[in-house]
A = this chain, B = another copy of it.
Amino acid sequence: MSWAMEIETPTYTDLVVIGAGPAGLMAACWAARYHVNVRILDDKPERVLTGHADGLTCRTLEIFDSFGIAHEVCSEASVDVQMRYWRPNGVGGLERFQSLISQKPGVSRFQQCLLSQGRIEELLERVCAEGGVLVERNMETLELGPIEEDESCKYPIEVKIRRKVNPGTPSEQEPAVDANDSIDDHGIKVIRCKYLIGADGAHSWTRRQLGIAATGASTDECWGVIDLVPLTNFPDIRQSCVISSLHGNIHVVPRERQLVRLYIQLESATPGERLDRSKITAEMLISTTKKILHPYTFEYASIDWFTVYQVGQRIADKFSAAERVFLVGDAVHTHSPKIGQGMNVSLQDAYNLSWKICSVIKGILKSSSLASYETERRPVAEELIDVDRETVSFYCSRGAIDRGGLQEFRNKHYRFLSGVAVDYSGSEMISPKHVSLPRFDDEPSTEACESLVEERFSHICLGQRLPSYRVVKHANAEPTSVGSLLSSNGRWKLLIFTGDLRVEAQAVRFNNVSKAISATSCSIRQRSALDMGCQASVDIFAIMACPRDSVPLLSLPEIYHPWNESTGWEYDTVYTDEPDVYGVCEDAYGRYGIDRTRGCLVLCRPDQHVAYCGELEHTAGLELFCSRIFMETRSECD
C-alpha cells in the first residue's frame, strides 16, 4: 500500500470488541441491532468446535429468543428436565437415592437445556452477520494505549493490532472487514474508538493492559472434563446426574450426537501446587470413571474432547476503566465450570453492557448510564463466585450428600442458578422504589405462594426481568407471549396495562394516561414511532383486561397503532388478557399481580428488565425517570 510508511493513520470506529467468545459475540449482536459501527476481533483462526461450555439456563434462552434464535437452539439441544443423585449403597455398589426436577415449573416459558458452545457461537455469529457485523479472526492485539481524558476527544481509545503472519487455516472464507485499514511496515494497524469491550476470556489481555488485578485463589481440587460416546450399563447415562461414590464424584451431562460429558473429580494435587495438566491423559480420566462407576461397566466408543482444571475463583478488582473500556465474561470472573454458569453469566454481562454503550453512541442515553454496568453486574459475579465455591465444596465433601441436605442446598441457590431472579434494583438505571408504589409490589397471597407455579418472581418486580405470560393479539386472536414483545431491537418497551375499558371510570383514566403520553412534550411520545418512525427508541404496547371486541383496535389513540405510509397501521401493538378460543391465556393480570380494573404502566429496558412501574396516573414519575437517563431527543451525536 502506498501509505504503508505513514504509521499512525488510524481507522476510526465507534466500538471495538476484543474476543469473539460467547460474551464478545453477544456484545456484537447488540451493536448489529443498533447499527453501531463495530469491529470484533479474535486472535484464534476459528470458533470453538468441540467441548467447552454447554449448559443454557432459561434466562439465556429468553435472551436468545429476543434475538430470534431460541427455537433453533431448543430444537437442537439436549433437554435437561431431571437431575438424579447416586451414592454408595453400603454393600459395594451404588444406589439412586433422589430425583429432582431441573427447573421448577412456571419459572420461564423456556426449559433449560444443553447445547455446545461452538453451535451457540455459530448462531450468535449469524445474528451479527444479519446486521452486517463480521468477526475478524487471526487478529493479534499488540497494545492498548492510555485512554485520553480530554473530554473533547471523540475517539479516546487507541488499540494496535496486527493480522497474524502464520495464521491457522480458517474453515470459512475470511471477510475483508479490514480492507481499508492502513498498515505500517510491520503490518500493524491502529484503530481508534469511542468504547472498547474486553471479552477476551479468563487470561484477558485487555484486563492485563489496563493493569486490573483479578483477586481470588485456587483450591487444590482437580477435575477432568471429557466428552465421549459411552458404552455402559449405568442406567442414568443419558440424563443429568451426580454420582458420589467412595472413589470420588462424577457429574453426567448428556450432549448432542450420543455424546455424554463427564465431570470427574481427580485425586487432589499436592496442596498449594498448581496442577500439571499435561500429565493427565484421557485414559486416566476413563480409569477413574471406571472406579467411580463400579460395579457398572464402563467403556467408550470414541472421545470428542477433554480437559483438566484446578478449581479456582477470581473476580476482577474493577470492571472498567474511565467508563470507556469494559470487561465482560470470563475476563472479569472465573470459577469452576461445575455449575454450568460460565457461558450464561458471560453472555448476560455483555447483554447488560452492550445496549447501554450502543445507546450512548447513538445519542439515546446519557453516558452516565454506563456506571450502572458495574453496579448491576458486580453483585451477580460475586454471587456466582460464592455459589460456585459452596457447590464445589458441597459436592467434594464425600459422603456429605444426603437426601435432605441436597434438597436444601438446591433450594438455596435455585433462584440464582435459573438466571431469572437477577435483580438490578438500586441501580441508577432502575427507578428507585419510592417513586412509585404500585399495589402489585405487595407480597402475593398465601394461596399463590403455595402453588408451585406462582413463584414470588412471577410478579412484576422493579429491576428484574419481566416474566412472560400469554395474552391474545387484538388484531387476529393470536396467542402471544408477553416476552415475545420484548425483542432485542434496541428499544425500550412501555406496556400500558389498560385495565377493563368497559368500566367507565377506567376508560377515563386510560384516556388521561393516553393523552399525557400523546402530548407533544412527552418524552415517551418523542421517542415513539409516532414521531420517530423506525428511528423510535421506545415501543408502546397496550394490554387490555377486556374482550377484544369490546374496544376496536383503531378506536384506541394513535400512539397505540402508529401509521406508516408503506405498511399502514401498526397491528402488533395491542393485546388482551381474556380467555381466548383455545384457553391459552394465562391470566397475565393475575399472575403479574395487576388489578384487572385499574391496570398499571410498566417500562422495560431494552434488556427486558423493569425500569419503572406505577399506576396509570404516574406519568410524571415516568417523565422524571426518563429525563434523568435519556438525552434530549434529536440530539446530534458525531
Chain A residues within 8 Å of B, Cβ to Cβ: 71-72, 75, 78-79, 81-82, 96, 99, 101, 105, 229-233, 235, 237-239, 254, 258, 301-302, 475-479, 549, 552-554, 565-569, 571, 580-582
Contact A567 B239 (CB under 8 A): no
Contact B566 A301 (CB under 8 A): yes
Q: How far is the CB of A546 from chain B (nearest CB, A)?
A: 15
| Cα-based distance from A475 to B72 in the complex (angstroms) | 23
Picked from B258, B554, B582, the residue with its CB within 8 Å of the CB of A101 is B582
With a cutoff of 8 Å between Cβ atoms, the chain B residues found around residue A571 in the complex are: 238
With a cutoff of 8 Å between Cβ atoms, the chain B residues found around residue A553 in the complex are: 235
| Cα-based distance from A237 to B105 in the complex (angstroms) | 37
Q: How far is the CB of A526 from chain B (nearest CB, A)?
A: 25
Contact A105 B301 (CB under 8 A): no
Contact B82 A581 (CB under 8 A): yes
| Cα-based distance from A96 to B478 in the complex (angstroms) | 19
- List 9 A-B pairs, minimum CB-CB distance, nearest first: A238-B475, A239-B476, A82-B477, A231-B568, A79-B478, A101-B581, A258-B567, A238-B476, A238-B571
| Cα-based distance from A418 to B585 in the complex (angstroms) | 24
| Cα-based distance from A552 to B302 in the complex (angstroms) | 25
Would you mind naming 9 contact pairs between A and B with Cβ atoms under 8 Å apart? Answer: A81-B582, A96-B549, A231-B569, A235-B552, A238-B475, A258-B567, A301-B567, A301-B568, A302-B566
| Cα-based distance from A111 to B568 in the complex (angstroms) | 28
Contact B477 A239 (CB under 8 A): yes
Contact A476 B82 (CB under 8 A): yes
With a cutoff of 8 Å between Cβ atoms, the chain B residues found around residue A554 in the complex are: 233, 235
Q: How far is the CB of A412 from chain B (nearest CB, A)?
A: 21
Contact A477 B230 (CB under 8 A): no
Closest residue of B by beta carbon distance from A582 = B105
| Cα-based distance from A229 to B580 in the complex (angstroms) | 27
Q: How far is the CB of A246 from chain B (nearest CB, A)?
A: 23
Closest residue of B by beta carbon distance from A567 = B258
Choose among A101, A229, A231, A302 the residue with the greatest number of B CB atoms under 10 Å from its CB.
Answer: A231
Q: How far is the CB of A61 from chain B (nearest CB, A)?
A: 14
With a cutoff of 8 Å between Cβ atoms, the chain B residues found around residue A549 in the complex are: 96
| Cα-based distance from A231 to B105 in the complex (angstroms) | 43
Q: How far is the CB of A79 from chain B (nearest CB, A)?
A: 4
Picked from B81, B230, B475, the residue with its CB within 8 Å of the CB of A581 is B81
Asked whether A229 and B566 contact (CB < 8 A) given A581-B82, A582-B81, the answer is yes
Contact A476 B254 (CB under 8 A): yes
Choose among A101, A105, A582 the residue with the greatest number of B CB atoms under 10 Å from its CB.
Answer: A582
With a cutoff of 8 Å between Cβ atoms, the chain B residues found around residue A75 in the complex are: 71
Contact B568 A239 (CB under 8 A): no
Q: How far is the CB of A113 from chain B (nearest CB, A)?
A: 10
Closest residue of B by beta carbon distance from A475 = B238
Q: How far is the CB of A96 from chain B (nearest CB, A)?
A: 8
| Cα-based distance from A239 to B232 in the complex (angstroms) | 54
Closest residue of B by beta carbon distance from A100 = B581
Closest residue of B by beta carbon distance from A571 = B238
Contact B81 A478 (CB under 8 A): yes
| Cα-based distance from A286 to B232 in the complex (angstroms) | 69
With a cutoff of 8 Å between Cβ atoms, the chain B residues found around residue A581 in the complex are: 81-82, 99, 101
With a cutoff of 8 Å between Cβ atoms, the chain B residues found around residue A101 in the complex are: 581-582
Choose among A301, A302, A476, A478 the residue with the greatest number of B CB atoms under 10 Å from its CB.
Answer: A476
With a cutoff of 8 Å between Cβ atoms, the chain B residues found around residue A78 in the complex are: 476
With a cutoff of 8 Å between Cβ atoms, the chain B residues found around residue A239 in the complex are: 475-477
Asked whether A476 and B568 contact (CB < 8 A) given A553-B235, A581-B101, the answer is no
Contact B301 A476 (CB under 8 A): no
| Cα-based distance from A571 to B231 in the complex (angstroms) | 11
| Cα-based distance from A601 to B569 in the complex (angstroms) | 55
Additional A-B contact list (6), CB under 8 Å, known A79-B478, A81-B478, A229-B566: A81-B476, A81-B477, A81-B581, A82-B581, A230-B568, A239-B475
| Cα-based distance from A554 to B236 in the complex (angstroms) | 11
Q: How far is the CB of A318 from chain B (nearest CB, A)?
A: 42
| Cα-based distance from A233 to B563 in the complex (angstroms) | 12
Q: How far is the CB of A565 from chain B (nearest CB, A)?
A: 7
| Cα-based distance from A172 to B554 in the complex (angstroms) | 43
With a cutoff of 8 Å between Cβ atoms, the chain B residues found around residue A565 in the complex are: 301
With a cutoff of 8 Å between Cβ atoms, the chain B residues found around residue A81 in the complex are: 476-479, 580-582
| Cα-based distance from A237 to B567 in the complex (angstroms) | 13
With a cutoff of 8 Å between Cβ atoms, the chain B residues found around residue A231 in the complex are: 568-569
| Cα-based distance from A302 to B424 in the complex (angstroms) | 45
Contact B477 A229 (CB under 8 A): no
With a cutoff of 8 Å between Cβ atoms, the chain B residues found around residue A232 in the complex are: 568
Choose among A82, A101, A258, A477 the residue with the greatest number of B CB atoms under 10 Å from its CB.
Answer: A477
| Cα-based distance from A72 to B68 in the complex (angstroms) | 11
Closest residue of B by beta carbon distance from A581 = B101
| Cα-based distance from A554 to B549 in the complex (angstroms) | 57
Asked whether A568 and B258 contact (CB < 8 A) given A235-B552, A554-B235, the answer is yes
Closest residue of B by beta carbon distance from A81 = B477
| Cα-based distance from A71 to B70 in the complex (angstroms) | 11
With a cutoff of 8 Å between Cβ atoms, the chain B residues found around residue A478 in the complex are: 79, 81
| Cα-based distance from A569 to B254 in the complex (angstroms) | 14
| Cα-based distance from A571 to B234 in the complex (angstroms) | 12
| Cα-based distance from A565 to B231 in the complex (angstroms) | 9
